[in-house]
Structure 1
Amino acid sequence: MAKKYGGWMLWILFLLLLLLSGCSTGVQSETIVITDSEEMEQAPQDSSPVQVKRIYRLPDENADTGHWLGWSSTDSIVGSFKTVDLPGRFMLKRLAYPFEQGENITEINMNNSRISLSPDGKHVAEMIMTRKEASLKVISLKDIKETEIDRISTSGQKYLQDMSWSDNSQYISCLVLDSVDSNKNSLRVIDTKSGVSKPYALNEFEKGDSLLSVHVSNDGRSALITMYASDIRKTTIVLGKLVDDHFETKYKRQIGEIQVTWIGNDQFAFLGRDGTLYEYDLRNGELSVILEKVYAYEFSQDKKIIAYSLQDEDVVYVGKMQGRNVLYNKPVYHGIIPMNMKWNSDNTSLFIQGPKAFANPNIIQNDYSKGPSFIIELE
């Protein structure tokens, strides 16, 4: 009996060793997708798939003289188009449901200027530049009242690069660059509520880095700067904190496109060089994959829905976000490569614009506003 019992024990030990060795010799892999278990267990608020209700083809009039800026309300969009009789002047136009005929809002002087619609659709920011200074004005679309909120010196070799709103429409930011001395480069952040304008030194960038764009977080304490890095000769995203009077780098990574999106005050999304859509969280340093092989994307204002297209496809998809996962993906339009996509405030309609799939590749690369535009109304 003792020998028989001992034999069984040997067999059991042998099987255990086989199991352990199998576990240790399997394929080893490392993943950057980290999902909280609590997040996975929560059911999405809306588990229904996306349904298309109606598609509107926008009129082609003035398509070659300007572009649509975005939504001014849940059922109207605003654009900037050149006037016919006055060269150098642009007309703000509104196109409301059923999106058939646009109406003129006001003419503005657009000589050497930049213009940007606030995410809430209530104001247009306009930057007018001269040889000595740049004037930043905000125009209310409700009463067409124009207010100057900042004046920036551009004397010497200084110039302005990019202008953008924060997602909550409170902050406007721009890059003030010096073409001779990069140590004089700065980031300007204007709080439209308090009227305070503050510069932040950009001392951590290398000489020769070409700064391209800037996006400030909703709390005004962080900024995303895209640049063409001189050392690696690749487009790079830099996340930094706005501390005292300077920009303090916290994270840097090569990217595929200059489009970046704040998900929260410490998280942002960006496209990698291979088309992977990532989310980075500054609080814990986690880098997570949202989607792969993405060509273009656009989150809704509340970040609960995403519209996107995939590489080598002429299809626009819409999906609902659950944490970092995209659920209920559904194609909503076929036939164009969406270069410009914008959600209205209640996520019921999506503006898309872009060239047809067989268009000249140079048009696709050089001008996102070319091509037909549509509004996809969802149920």
Structure 2
Amino acid sequence: MKKKHWLHWSAVLFSLTLIMTGCNIGKRTETIIISDNSEQPPMDQMNKSFKVKSIYRLPPASKLLGWSDNKSVIGIFKEEGLSHLQRLSSPYEKPEVLQKMNNNIFNLYMSPDGKMIAQTRLSSYGPSLKLISVKDGKEKIEIPLKSNQNIYLQDIAWSNNSRFLCFLSSSSMIDEPTTIGVFDIVLNSLQTYELVELKDKGTFVGVNISDDGKNLLFTIIPPSKPSNDSSLIFVTINSNKIETKYTHQTNGSKTTWLNNYQFVFLGKDETLYEYDSRNGDLAILLEKVSIYEFSNDQKKIAYSLSDEDNVYIGRFQGKNILNVETIYQGLTPYELYWSLDNQSLLLQGRKISQILQTEEQVFIIDF
């Protein structure tokens, strides 16, 4: 009896073993693809639509410089005259005068962090470039330049992290090449590089510098070409020399660095491209784009299409624009600025009234 009893339980154990083994035979292997973006937003945030909380209409502006903090914008507003730099803070009703700019109000370039303004001035000794504090309107730094009446400055631009300020310096002398100046705010140092190999490429109309100060994007109009037939030239600074890495036809001077390796630009066909210099990958993000602007954290994009008068916002992830929504209708924007916290959008554009007249309007949209 004991032997039979033992045989009975042995058979049971053997059957269970077969069942468990059969389950394992059918087990599948899964491959999980992890994106190269280490900071992925939660799924509920990715699927969340944009909700407009408030829309503020601002006074007409002769020039907008951008945001000095999350609730204040800097510009020259027509209600206060044309000779004053002003701050307009929430609820955006009465501009506050910051500094009289001696009528030199258009050569102003504010850093992305809203702390400094670069201003070019021209005297009998030649051009000068100074950095002015937005907080108190006082001059903080004068960038050392060669005093020469034959020299003029153009295309001043800040890096996204507000550390580097770059500018082109050209001469009226035919034999002298254009140079690019790169000023490091942290080290208080200026480096200049001659653009010898770009000398015969055409007329410079734009420049953009990466956060590490080592990569540059030039926009150039080739000789005997219309202004909308320009070329983007991506170069690197290597051992104090400029090396050309990539060229592409563009539709204007607007370019954007996503990081030190990837940048975005509008092609001649109004296609918004992203280029990765690490592997030479060129991706299409959007088509028929007339204007665009990425948020400071590179997670949102505001844009308008060439055949419409609407303003759109979408979430930028990888090489995709997701959750696109129309946030304003009836306006053709030509200036877009994201607030520092990426929760508000400052836009300036043209709106056609009911009597078919074009009006210049400025808005702030809070999300």
| 2:68 corresponds to 1:72 | yes
Q: 1:183 deviation in Å?
A: 4.4
In structure 2, the residue matched to 1:324 is 319
| 2:278 corresponds to 1:283 | yes
What's the CA shift string for 1:313-333, capped at 9, x where partnerless?
110000011111011000000
In structure 2, the residue matched to 1:54 is 54
Match of 1:242 among 203, 212, 237: 237
In structure 2, the residue matched to 1:337 is 332
Task: Answer whether contact 1:114 1:163 (CA < 8 A) is retained.
Answer: no
Task: Answer whether contact 2:71 2:90 (CA < 8 A) is retained.
Answer: yes
Q: 1:293 deviation in Å?
A: 1.2
In structure 1, the residue matched to 2:4 is none
Cα distance in 2 for partners of 1:292, 1:311 equals: 9
Amino acid at match of 1:161: Q
Task: Tell me the SS of whatever aligns to 1:204.
Answer: helix
Cα distance in 2 for partners of 1:241, 1:176 equals: 18
Q: What is the RMSD of the two structures over their aligned residues, measured on CA atoms?
A: 2.7
Q: 1:38 deviation in Å?
A: 3.4
Match of 1:95 among 70, 73, 88: 88
Gaps of 5+ in 2: 1-31
Cα distance in 1 for partners of 2:176, 2:296 equals: 35
Q: 1:40 deviation in Å?
A: 9.3
Cα distance in 1 for partners of 2:291, 2:352 equals: 14
Cα distance in 2 for partners of 1:181, 1:112 equals: 30
Distance 1:295 1:357, change over 3 A: farther
In structure 1, the residue matched to 2:218 is 225
Alignment of 1:197-212 (within 5 A): 197-207=190-200, 209-212=202-205
Q: 1:157 deviation in Å?
A: 3.0
Amino acid at match of 1:210: T
Give me the identity figure in percent.
Answer: 38
Cα distance in 2 for partners of 1:102, 1:156 equals: 37
Q: 1:154 deviation in Å?
A: 5.3
What's the CA shift string for 1:265-311, capped at 9, x where partnerless?
11110011111100011111010011111111000011110000112
Task: Answer whether contact 1:178 1:185 (CA < 8 A) is retained.
Answer: yes
What's the CA shift string for 1:194-253, capped at 9, x where partnerless?
110110110111436101121111000111111101276630111101123332111111
Normalising by structure 1, report the TM-score: 0.80
Q: 1:146 deviation in Å?
A: 1.0
Task: Answer whether contact 2:255 2:266 (CA < 8 A) is retained.
Answer: yes
Distance 1:118 1:253, change over 3 A: same
Task: Tell me the SS of whatever aligns to 1:329.
Answer: strand
Cα distance in 2 for partners of 1:188, 1:113 equals: 20
Distance 1:289 1:153, change over 3 A: same
Q: Which stretch of structure 1 is more off in the superposition, 245-254 or 289-298?
A: 245-254
In structure 2, the residue matched to 1:299 is 294
Q: Which stretch of structure 1 is more off in the superposition, 169-178 or 41-50?
A: 41-50
What's the CA shift string for 1:137-161, capped at 9, x where partnerless?
1111223331233132352532211
Q: 1:52 deviation in Å?
A: 0.8
Distance 1:144 1:257, change over 3 A: same
Task: Answer whether contact 2:65 2:73 (CA < 8 A) is retained.
Answer: yes
| 2:296 corresponds to 1:309 | no
| 2:187 corresponds to 1:194 | yes
Normalising by structure 2, report the TM-score: 0.83
Alignment of 1:1-379 (within 5 A): 38-39=34-35, 44-45=41-42, 46-47=45-46, 48-60=48-60, 63=61, 66-80=62-76, 90-111=83-104, 114-153=107-146, 155=148, 157-181=150-174, 183-207=176-200, 209-230=202-223, 234-357=229-352, 371-378=360-367
Cα distance in 2 for partners of 1:240, 1:326 equals: 27
Task: Answer whether contact 1:164 1:174 (CA < 8 A) is retained.
Answer: yes
Cα distance in 2 for partners of 1:350, 1:158 equals: 37
Cα distance in 2 for partners of 1:80, 1:377 equals: 22
Cα distance in 1 for partners of 2:138, 2:324 equals: 42
Task: Answer whether contact 2:53 2:366 (CA < 8 A) is retained.
Answer: yes
Cα distance in 2 for partners of 1:241, 1:124 equals: 26
Distance 1:143 1:251, change over 3 A: same
Amino acid at match of 1:373: V
Amino acid at match of 1:372: Q
In structure 1, the residue matched to 2:21 is none
Q: 1:109 deviation in Å?
A: 2.6
Amino acid at match of 2:99: T
Task: Answer whether contact 2:177 2:199 (CA < 8 A) is retained.
Answer: no
Distance 1:243 1:231, change over 3 A: farther
Cα distance in 1 for partners of 2:104, 2:67 equals: 24
Amino acid at match of 1:356: K
Gaps of 5+ in 1: 1-35, 365-369
Amino acid at match of 1:371: E
Q: Which stretch of structure 1 is more off in the superposition, 109-118 or 211-220?
A: 109-118
Task: Answer whether contact 1:183 1:202 (CA < 8 A) is retained.
Answer: no
Q: Which has the larger radius of gyration?
A: 2
Task: Tell me the SS of whatever aligns to 1:356.
Answer: strand
Task: Answer whether contact 2:107 2:120 (CA < 8 A) is retained.
Answer: yes
Task: Tell me the SS of whatever aligns to 1:38.
Answer: coil
